[in-house]
Amino acid sequence: MKIILEKIFHFLSSVRLTIILLILLALACTCGTLLPQNQPLTIYQKQFGNLGTKLIDALSLNDVYHAIWFQFLLFSLSINLIICSLDRLPKTWRLWRYEKKEVDKKFFKHLPLSEKIVCSMPLEKAKEKIISLFEKDFPKIEVISNPVFALYGKKGNISYWGPYIVHSGILVVLLGAIITSVFGFSGSMFIPEGEVSNTVFLHGKGHKIHNLPFSLKCEKFIIEYYPNGTPKEYISHLTIIDGKQKISKIIKVNAPLDYRGFRFYQANYGVASRPTLTLFVINRKTGEKFEITVPFNQSVSLPDGKGSIKVVRAFSDLMNMGPAFQLVVIEDDKPQTTWVIERFPQFDAMHRKGKYAFVLKNYTRYTGLQVKKDPGVWIVWIGCLIIIGGLAIGLFVIPQKMWLHLTPHPKGCEILIGGMATKRRTLFKHTFQRWIKQIKEGLSCGT
């Protein structure tokens, strides 16, 4: 029993498991991008047949990222990460604490980088000079004067903690993501211009409704265009109605509104379900042009007072022609049906006879807002910063050590210098050569 437990622990703490999990996660994500997600099963039936669809349904391949097995993979990765880190902690601690300050001549031979330099400078003067040279590289340089004059410097050992910092950052991000999905929600609001609402339609299965503790009124929804006709900006002018307070706010794409822990985003827009139209009424004979406002399903009299007009139906997209509205026009007691269509202003003039022709000027829209409450987002950002900091420390700080012996020599003094880096050795070789150059120039000596 004990052996089995040990084996399980060994497996959970192995990097082999990490590698397997990373490969599995990468494959799962690939599957999630190549297979269309969250489609009704009938769509898969056409492409993959009965058996394929059953397989997709059983493994939730149509919703990979929310499947239980996918979350199990993420969970396993977190466990593996924690156990791995704990398992390696003593080893890292030893590396971090490891010091060998006093060394003998033989030690230099075993170092990957070492060099002997003879200088003509007298010993005492050389001692001072060499300390000042290396103080810049090693802020905490140690001077040992017995049995020989020696220097010992180390820096960058913090690099050993880089992986731990990155891994704890990942755990913090995952914690934030869990808080987001458990305590947060997101949904949509649709507010027609001039109307007030506090109803949020929650995203996800079940189509639930959430009522905000305050209301929003959409004063106006505006689309700005570039000269070439492409949209430049979508803007909602809103008023927050919170008890007696009324606050005017603007929401644009990329500029959401924060209020009482909720965040509102400009998401979409469309024709209001009971729109009020502004129409140009053109007298066909005289060319006179009037402007009238027609609320939905209410009769409004025509300019000559001898007839009326009423909006009976509204379509945000009528047979791919865009927004269109059905009107009932009564002229000379004869009712006629007609359409005003945003993209075809001449439609009524061309398809109906009568005293007046109608052209659409404007109609009321609704603004579609995305609403979000996300208490986990700050935790995610903190986790991200920890990860980036950990990567910088772990990958770019080089743990390095330097030993130096300064002994008397018939010509003046002899310097024995050795260096070691546990990461990025090629780069460290350049640093080491710089040290040697520095000594040779500083103490003005040949080899």
Question: Are the beta carbons of 165 and 388 closer than 8 angstroms?
Answer: no
Residue 261 within binding range of another protein, rule CB under 8 A: no
Pairing of strands 231-242, 324-331: unpaired
Q: Does 207 bind another protein (CB under 8 A)?
A: no
**CB-wise, 64 or 416, nearer to another protein?**
64
CA torsion, ordered 370, 376, 379, 380, to nearest 10 deg: -50
Closest CA to 380 of 179, 243, 185: 179
From 40, 90, 213, 227, residue interacting with another protein (rule: CB under 8 A): 227
Q: Which two tokens stand for residue 121?
A: 């400078």
Q: How far apart are alpha carbons 214 and 189 in whole angstroms? A: 13
Shortest approach of another protein to residue 264 CB, angstroms? Answer: 9
**What is the phi-psi region of residue 254: left when phi exceeds 0, alpha when psi lies from -120 to 50, beta otherwise?**
left
Provide the minimum distance between the beta carbon of 65 and another protein in the complex, in angstroms, as a whole number: 5
Q: Does 436 bind another protein (CB under 8 A)?
A: no
- For the sheet containing 149-155, what is the strand order? 113-119, 412-421, 400-409, 149-155, 142-144
Please identify which residue in 154, 355, 365, 372 interacts with another protein, judged by CB under 8 A.
372
- Where does this chain touch another protein (CB under 8 A) — which range of 18-26, 132-140, 290-298, 320-328? 18-26
User: How does strand 324-331 pair with strand 334-341?
Assistant: antiparallel
The verdict on 43 binding another protein (CB under 8 A) reads: no
Judged by beta carbon, residue 25 or residue 117, the one nearer another protein is 25
In DSSP notation, 111-142 reads: SSEEEEEEE-S-HHHHHHHHHHHHHTT-TT-E
Interface characters, 318-337, with another protein (x: CB under 8 A)? --------------------
The DSSP output letter for 63 is: G
Burial of 106 (0-12, 13-18, 19+ CB in 10 A): exposed
For residues 16 and 411, which CB has a smaller minimum distance to another protein in the complex? 16
Q: Which of 163, 192, 323, 368 contacts another protein by CB under 8 A?
A: 163
Smallest distance, another protein to C-beta of residue 342, A: 20
Distance, first Cα to last Cα, the chain: 66
DSSP 398: P
Stretch that binds another protein, among 1-9, 191-199, 294-302, 376-384 (CB under 8 A): 376-384
CB of 90 to another protein, least distance (A): 15
Binds another protein (CB under 8 A): choice among 50, 254, 320, 447:
254
Question: What are residue 216's phi and psi, to 5 degrees?
Answer: -120, 140
The stretch among 104-112, 212-220, 259-267, 287-295 that binds another protein (CB under 8 A) is: 259-267
Contact 193, 365 (CB under 8 A): yes
Cα separation of 341 and 326, whole Å? 9
Question: Counting contacts by CB under 8 A, is residue 276 touching another protein?
Answer: no
Rule CB under 8 A: choose which of 160, 221, 265, 296 binds another protein: 265
Half-sphere CA count of 238, side-chain side, radius 13 A: 32
Query: Residues 379 to 398: which contact another protein by CB under 8 A?
Result: 380-381, 384, 387-388, 391-392, 395-396
When the beta carbons of 233 and 342 are compared against another protein, the nearer one is 233
Task: Give yes or no for residue 26 binding another protein (CB under 8 A).
Answer: yes
Contact 165, 390 (CB under 8 A): yes
Interaction site with another protein (CB under 8 A): 15-16, 18-19, 22-23, 25-26, 29-30, 32-34, 37, 65, 163, 177, 186, 226-228, 230-234, 252-256, 263, 265, 267, 370, 372, 377, 380-381, 384, 387-388, 391-392, 395-396, 424-427, 430
